[in-house]
Amino acid sequence: MPESVCSPEVFDAFFDDAAVFPPGRAPLGQAVPDHIARRGTPLGRLVGPLLLPVDALDAAASLVDATGEGPLRVGVVVPAGGLDVALAAVERVAPAIRVGGLELKTDDLDPRQVVADAAALTERYSVHVELAVPHIRAGLLDSFTGTDVRLKARTGGLVAEAFPSVEDLAEVITTAVAAKRSFKLTAGLHRAVRYRDDSTGFVHHGFLNIAVATGEALDGADTAAVATTLAETDGSVLAERLRAIAAQWRTMFESFGTCSIAEPLDTLDELDLIPNIASDHGN
């Protein structure tokens, strides 16, 4: 078994803490201390920043000041058209909040202008711009060329239509790999392996499927082959494929936001892919 997979380093900072976002919607007063508490545990290395909306920054800073455990490492999710407000808030909450990343939504804005605005900030922050599948299909990833802007894509949500098909997600992955543009993902990635949620009927993508598919795309797999990997539902098959590829997939698939840290880690535990990590993950 390759050392890169035996060691948990392959999943370092892979799970961005999106506790306050749906469907979890943890209260800020719970999310902030929970995130701080993980920093001193074996789990801490696997967890990325706490993701917060702009309007939660001031309250989060007050909570951090009250604990005396600052600074808190945060990624800020910026609504379309809200960049100036977000940047002002980021300055206001320092030093209690240390913002390392900005995630810019595009919605009805011109994505090329959003990318241009983002490019001006990459010397100070890691900046991701969220593109929808139609944007990527229309070639808008080309607007990232010559910049350090990174891609963000959506893999689920609160309605069935928010979940891209395996073919659409395969196109996102292969297009990003071809453009040598790393990406992070958001929403719906609750478990390692693709599954149907019995309570909603939604079919969720598996983050392990995506990791393996990204590695295979880096090795030259085409969109159809990547889609086949995304559709796989046998965890043992995916675990074996992950063990067979290099850890280079992490150079492309940076991280994903999850409202529960415990659930995705438990599904990796079941596949014996995170050895030497405490079994009690917390929430």
Residue 61 predicted with pLDDT over 80: yes
Query: 38 with 47: CB under 8 angstroms?
Result: yes
Residue 99 predicted with pLDDT over 50: yes
Q: What is the pLDDT of residue 171?
A: 98
The enclosing H or E element of 99 equals strand 97-104
Q: What is the pLDDT of residue 7?
A: 56
Q: Write down the mean pLDDT value for the chain.
A: 93
Confidence of residue 282 (pLDDT cuts 50, 70, 90): very low
- Mean pLDDT value across residues 79-105: 97
Dist. CA 2–CA 200, nearest whole Å: 38
Decide: helix, strand or coil at residue 118: helix
Can you list the domains of the chain with their CATH numbers? 3-270 (3.20.20)
Residue 283 predicted with pLDDT over 60: no
Residues 144-202: tens digit of each pLDDT: 999 999 999 999 999 999 999 999 999 999 999 999 999 999 999 999 999 999 999 99
Confidence of residue 245 (pLDDT cuts 50, 70, 90): confident
Residue 19 predicted with pLDDT over 90: yes
Confidence of residue 9 (pLDDT cuts 50, 70, 90): confident
What is the reported pTM? 0.93
- Mean pLDDT value across residues 106-128: 96
pLDDT above 90: percentage of residues in the chain: 88
Q: What is the pLDDT of residue 216?
A: 96
Nearest to 38 by CA among 270, 258, 273, 271: 258
Residues 206-216: tens digit of each pLDDT: 999 999 999 99
Residues 6+ apart with CB under 8 A from 41: 278, 282
CA-to-CA dists, residue 191 to 99, 210, 266, angstroms: 27, 11, 8
